[in-house]
Amino acid sequence: MPTLRLPPLPNIREILKMYHLRAMKQLSQNFILNENLTDKIIKKAGILSDCHVIEVGPGPGGLTRSIIKREPEKLIVIEKDKRFKPSLEMLADAFAAVNGKMEIIFDDVMTFHMENVLPSTETKTWTDKCPRIKIIGNLPFNVSTPLIIKWLRAISEKTGPWKFGRTRMTLTFQKEVAERLTAEPLDTQRCRLSVMAQAWTQPILHFIIPGTAFLPKPDVDVGLVTFVPLTVPRTKHEFAIFEKVTRHIFSFRQKYSIRGIETLFPAEYRTELGQMMYKLADLDPQRRPMTLTVEDIDSLVSAYKYLLEKYPNLKFYEYRTSRHIISLSQAKNIEVVECTN
């Protein structure tokens, strides 16, 4: 694939030295210095020419440089740490020298409204091919799981960058998280995250990047995942209720899945309503959580909704274990309950 020739620039190691940039642990900063690796990562994001690309957490700009070489229509980077201003501006200037457009935004990706920086002219209908918008990021580990849950919800609601159609994202995760996101039924890694990701997208695990490729080296390896939003989601239900039922199912991973389902109901009705859910869903209550497909869980959600309609008070029931943390509760003279699901 042809790549753009940029004016000569210092490499990332030199940039870190020039601007005295040291990785900050509290922002989960682990930089990729090897340009061959950043090129390989960006290749997996697909065609970028003519696209509006949003990069999350560009840091000193390793991946950013590889994105620019693929000539996007416009690159928007969202970074929390203002120390990277000079190095990102240097890249923006180099891109501008070859008529490229790069916008640098210092903000928190958890709260930033990406839809406000994307042009409505790129909007496609959901069933059309993907819009010319891509989200890319070597995500900070400390926000990657809440962020993907937030974005899966946005996909299910067709809000944020998914207002424009089936926007693809290519992101890094801690290896275990990447494997969970893509785990199929019967895989030992199968969990709530697998089901949630696969209900609305097709997650593809491209490859594992060894921790040694980062500076500083994190304790874990890293997986690169692309999420392609599904034209037809594998569930017809809303995100919140689907997530709730999935969470309960996986709250007792090693037991029969009915064990977790029962905790949707107050103790006195658990056995009866749990059995009823499986009858309505036409499923064997002895199935283990990790064997259930997205469609099986969709049927259980339909059954749960039916019971909620029949017994509206059930929706106010929230399961909590009463595992008291003795020392703390005694010290403060309060009951401390810990939610395990």
Shortest Cβ 68–ligand SAM spacing (Å) = 13
333 is annotated as contributing to ligand binding:
no
Instruction: Tell me whether residue 146 or residue 266 sits nearer to ligand SAM (CB atom).
Output: 146
32 is annotated as contributing to ligand binding:
yes
Residue 52 · residue 67 · CB < 8 Å: no
Instruction: Tell me whether residue 98 or residue 110 sits nearer to ligand SAM (CB atom).
Output: 110
| Euclidean distance between CA atoms 210 and 90, whole angstroms | 29
Cα–Cα distances in angstroms (integers) from residue 180 to residues 221, 225, 227, 329, in the given order: 14, 11, 13, 35
67 is annotated as contributing to ligand binding:
no
Instruction: Tell me whether residue 57 or residue 229 sits nearer to ligand SAM (CB atom).
Output: 57
Instruction: Tell me whether residue 36 or residue 188 sits nearer to ligand SAM (CB atom).
Output: 36
DSSP class per residue in 312-323: GGGGG----B--
∠ CA 188-191-194, nearest 5°, is 105
Instruction: Tell me whether residue 116 or residue 313 sits nearer to ligand SAM (CB atom).
Output: 116
Shortest Cβ 32–ligand SAM spacing (Å) = 4
Q: Which residue is nearest to ligand SAM (CB)?
A: 57
Residue 72 phi, psi dihedral angles, 5° rounding: -70, 160
99 is annotated as contributing to ligand binding:
no
Residue 16 phi, psi dihedral angles, 5° rounding: -60, -40
Instruction: Tell me whether residue 16 or residue 195 sits nearer to ligand SAM (CB atom).
Output: 16
Lookup: tokens for 190: 């199968």
Interface residues with ligand SAM (CB under 6 A)? Answer: 27-32, 57-59, 62-63, 78-81, 108-110, 138, 140, 143
Encode 202-228: b = buried (16+ Cβ within 10 Å), e = exposed.
ebebbeebebebbbeebebbbbbbbbb
Lookup: tokens for 43: 């290749």
Residue 277 · residue 265 · CB < 8 Å: no
268 is annotated as contributing to ligand binding:
no
Lookup: tokens for 183: 């785990």
Shortest Cβ 136–ligand SAM spacing (Å) = 9
Shortest Cβ 225–ligand SAM spacing (Å) = 15
Shortest Cβ 295–ligand SAM spacing (Å) = 35
Shortest Cβ 298–ligand SAM spacing (Å) = 32
User: Which residue's entry shows tokens 């694939």?
Assistant: 1
79 is annotated as contributing to ligand binding:
yes
Which positions make up the binding site for S-adenosyl-L-methionine? 30, 32, 57, 79, 108, 138
Which positions make up the binding site? 30, 32, 57, 79, 108, 138
